[in-house]
Structure 1
């Protein structure tokens, strides 16, 4: 269905013409027909690969379903998966540049066959609504926030495992829609607070509540919530697969996917070392200052300007 929608969208846009544009920027899965038409007219072309290639997403999903049976309705039997993956590769072949939001995505795009000289990493940015002034840590247990859909791809089972190991020493809150089976939900809510979805306009208060941000995703593009957490002054614990701009040991920690034990030790360290927590919080704000919406725009324009001048490598 997604493949059909992307194809239809691309054909409809291409049929309307390009109205004097010098280039076309499109998103993966919806770009093939659009890029093909643009190339025929001599326009430069760029496609944004917003998440890891479909084959990588499906492989990780399949592994998680085996490791965590009964957690989620199977998502690995999509009859269109092979066609969608082929469509992605065809888009890379046509495009002058493949824009990736993180090194994680770029690595897998190249491993899947995209020419390395086409790949450009342009991290996202965050607006200033999430910038929070330094404040003293609230009394009581360390507060850990996770934001995103509760499910296998976001690594939610591992949030639950970490929470159970810490056994009340740390308070966990997960914000986002819940997409798991009833039994898994009942087990998870015994260890963490599940708020369900919260309007974006109210998310600032969630970051104000927290001391640390934790996102053990199995597969992302570059999780926006990590940028927001850094801007809020929260040290971030995440995986390489989260596609973040976190610097290990400076404004957070990069842990392996499916990790539990290392994360438990990091959180214990944060609980016992307010000085470390404060220092990393300050570093997080500093890091976020280089990843604003304005800086994102500057990086993207620079990449596209090279295309318009014919510099496609």
Structure 2
């Protein structure tokens, strides 16, 4: 039985008892919550800073209080950047393995080790020997599931799907099997975990929220004088994100609605998709990677957000679009919090016709489009009010009770 937490419950506060291992950008929200509640004993992560100092990589900025928490490591950051600059194969190895070794070299006084990514297995083994509860926080599909979801599609485009590092991919699977509990943010990811043989009793369904959502909820959508319906995609431009199907659907939409619609693509192009961008259909433009502030403006000025991904854990971009008041069209495999026909429309993956039909319905029925957009914004607002950190703490308490 998979554990679904009730947000009405209130977790108790305690002395510092949580050891976290994971990326800065994905774990910063939880770390801030735990530090505020005096529960964060240590957080092994890449370098993190408060906006001051000589070394200030933008993705590593956190709340000032978190710079005092032990466990921030600069060496993995520098090695990873060097590997990417030199275009070394399996470049993640040069950052992820050093971080996992540095994390395992320390054993803080804690009751729970909460690991995310593929950094935690050596530390988990030490922690379990010392009586700690171990958690694997799985934010994306494990390698066997991604292989099933993507291999045929890559083959259809004359390419072979490969993991960046098969070693790190195997480690993520091993962490999920070894841990006492596995946290998953979406139903689609839970399905993947069950397929990989993770015991249902170990799985906790804990949705998270994209950090940009709060800002988008607090910002009013601009008033527009034109009648143009704006479509938007935000994310990597790649086969895995369903871009070929979106472009196929766009040709049908553009032919049906002519100058009444536009499509903007935002995000870096992966090698597998660069050829698709050379001759984009009329009415579609690609802007590349843009600053987060500009992405927020685009969300707020968009009517329909389309995200036909073939494999995700839980799409942050979809949450941000919902918070901005967009009507969302996405797939079940995107792992979004969309409730079909209430806060968005869910279409089958690899189906440009279904994308066309869903977007056409939203264009032709303004009332439905507005109702879905309002429901999406309300859903994200409620999720923020209940709090991601509170949901995680509830799971901690259940695990502590379960393990005595």
Same-fold call, TM > 0.5? yes
Q: Does the 8 Å contact 1:61/1:75 carry over to 2?
A: no
The alpha-carbon deviation at position 134 of structure 1 amounts to 5.8
Matched length:
306
Per-residue displacement from partner, 1:168-191 (whole Å, max 9, x unpaired)?
522111111112454322133645
Q: Within 5 A, what are the aligned runs for 1:57-76?
A: 57-69=146-158, 74=159, 76=161
Structure 1's 256 and 212: CA in aligned 2 closer, same or farther, altered over 3 A? same
The alpha-carbon deviation at position 89 of structure 1 amounts to 3.0
Q: 2:267 aligns with which of 153, 159, 176?
A: 176
Q: Does the 8 Å contact 2:251/2:281 carry over to 1?
A: no
Q: Which residue does the alignment assign to 1:145?
A: 232
Structure 2 CA distance for aligned equivalents of residues 79 and 286 of structure 1: 38
Q: Secondary structure at the match of 1:193?
A: strand
Is 171-180 or 8-17 further displaced after alignment? 8-17
Q: 2:198 aligns with which of 88, 101, 114?
A: 114
Structure 1's 245 and 264: CA in aligned 2 closer, same or farther, altered over 3 A? same
Is 123-132 or 36-45 further displaced after alignment? 123-132
TM-score by length of 1: 0.90
Q: Does the 8 Å contact 2:329/2:359 carry over to 1?
A: no
The alpha-carbon deviation at position 202 of structure 1 amounts to 2.2
Structure 2 CA distance for aligned equivalents of residues 77 and 276 of structure 1: 41
The alpha-carbon deviation at position 78 of structure 1 amounts to 5.0
Q: Secondary structure at the match of 1:291?
A: helix
TM-score by length of 2: 0.71
Q: 1:16 aligns with which of 101, 106, 126?
A: 106
Structure 1 CA distance for aligned equivalents of residues 195 and 354 of structure 2: 28
Structure 1's 156 and 6: CA in aligned 2 closer, same or farther, altered over 3 A? same
Q: Does the 8 Å contact 1:29/1:87 carry over to 2?
A: yes
Q: Any unmatched runs of 5+ in structure 1?
A: none
Q: Which residue does the alignment assign to 2:22?
A: none
Whether 1:128 and 2:220 are equivalent positions in the alignment is: no
Q: Which residue does the alignment assign to 1:200?
A: 292
Q: Secondary structure at the match of 1:177?
A: coil
Q: Which residue does the alignment assign to 2:384?
A: 292
